[in-house]
Structure 1
Amino acid sequence: MDFNKLDTKTKESLHEEFSNYAQQMGGANFFLNIVEEIRALKPNGLLNTSAAFHTKKARISLSKAIYKDTLTTLFEAIRKEERDGDMLDGANPKEYKATMNIIRALKPVTVTFESKESEGGSFTFNILDTSVEKKTKVTFAFKTIFFYHLDEIKKVLFYKAK
């Protein structure tokens, strides 16, 4: 998803959301450093069996552990959603079943970021957005923090309304 192609209302909403996230972590630069550290973790921090991992400035926890096959299927679903607009449209029966299984598994999962700084805060978001019936999407926050290029987060954080 290209942030520049979104409508103004959506851009402003995402900018406000990510500005709040950055503020809870101590500022935009600290937030960007946290995202860079998350990306540098090998293996991926989301695969930690304790459903939590740490960076220098934050503790990231999931309400449920994610396994490698689930993460791989989720990544493929994100790619299909970006390409076709929906992760289930046009999927063959095997892909459809796998995608439905990850939707059921990840629907209640939340990701929580807690600052390690004494005056820092925390924020939580869901992996999946189920606000529209029969349309499940991966939240922009999850995709941006864990998968998209760092430039997308910068575009969101430093967006100026014209």
Structure 2
Amino acid sequence: MCDFNNMDDAAKAAYHRQLTKCADAFGGTNFFLQLLEAIRKTKPHPLLAKHMEFRFSRGIVKWNKVIFKDKFTLLTSVRVTENENGNLLPGEDDKNYKKVMNLLRTLQPITFEVLPKNLKDGDGFKVHPFDIVDKKTTRINPVFDALFFCSVDTVKKVLSYTPKAS
């Protein structure tokens, strides 16, 4: 997701629609980008919050399970390999396979709920961290990736992308 320039046009259009829908549910592109900037500025990373929420002036992000530092660190490192081979899961013979499987089992049931402060801005949206394609293929959900990891500039590119007419 964060490597938007190297995607084909169909994938770009799909990510654009997905993120635009989420931005609209949060009150529009500007409010959504303000949320991303607030998440990027917060140290330590908001996913490590013990109270399982991130508040900022325009809304709140809540989730239903504490994420510990070791899982967060592993998630950030496997994100990079997913960009290279299109799959979060390493091969079964890889030494990190068991750790990554435990990471998926731990984080997959978590639902992240993003709600605007003012109900007039929208209904908000929910997102899961992963998209499970099949037993051997799992990818990071592009909305989750955009929300917590991608650069704000990349998300701006996705939101301002104009799908090519076919």
TM-score, normalised via structure 2 length: 0.89
Which residue number corresponds to residue 112 of structure 1?
Answer: 113
Deviation of 1:93 after TM superposition, in Å, equals 4.7
Secondary structure at the counterpart of residue 86 of structure 1: coil
Which residue number corresponds to residue 150 of structure 1?
Answer: 152
Secondary structure at the counterpart of residue 87 of structure 1: coil
Aligned-pair Cα RMSD in Å? 1.7
Deviations 1:55-89 (A, max 9, x none): 11010011211111100011111111112332333
Deviation of 1:91 after TM superposition, in Å, equals 7.2
Alignment gaps of 5+ in structure 2? none
Deviations 1:103-142 (A, max 9, x none): 1111111211000013122101110111333211111111
Cα distance change of structure 1 residues 92 and 40 upon mapping to structure 2, 3 Å threshold? farther
Which residue number corresponds to residue 53 of structure 1?
Answer: 54
Answering whether residue 138 of structure 2 is matched by residue 102 of structure 1, we say no
Higher relative contact order (CA 8 A, sep 6+): 2
Q: How many residues align?
A: 162
- State the alpha-carbon separation in 2 of the partners of residues 72 and 119 from structure 1: 37
Structure 1 runs of 4+ aligned residues shifted over 6 Å read none
% identical aligned pairs: 34
- State the alpha-carbon separation in 1 of the partners of residues 127 and 6 from structure 2: 23
- State the alpha-carbon separation in 1 of the partners of residues 57 and 42 from structure 2: 12
How do 1:66-81 and structure 2 match up within 5 A? Answer: 66-81=67-82
Letter in 1 for 2:54: F
Secondary structure at the counterpart of residue 119 of structure 1: helix
Deviations 1:20-54 (A, max 9, x none): 11112211111101100011111111111121110
TM-score, normalised via structure 1 length: 0.91
Letter in 1 for 2:86: G
Which residue number corresponds to residue 34 of structure 1?
Answer: 35
Deviation of 1:158 after TM superposition, in Å, equals 0.5
Letter in 2 for 1:48: A
Answering whether residue 128 of structure 2 is matched by residue 137 of structure 1, we say no
- State the alpha-carbon separation in 1 of the partners of residues 71 and 143 from structure 2: 19
Letter in 2 for 1:78: R
Deviation of 1:90 after TM superposition, in Å, equals 4.6
Secondary structure at the counterpart of residue 126 of structure 2: strand
Greater alpha carbon shift after TM alignment, 150-159 vs 76-85: 76-85
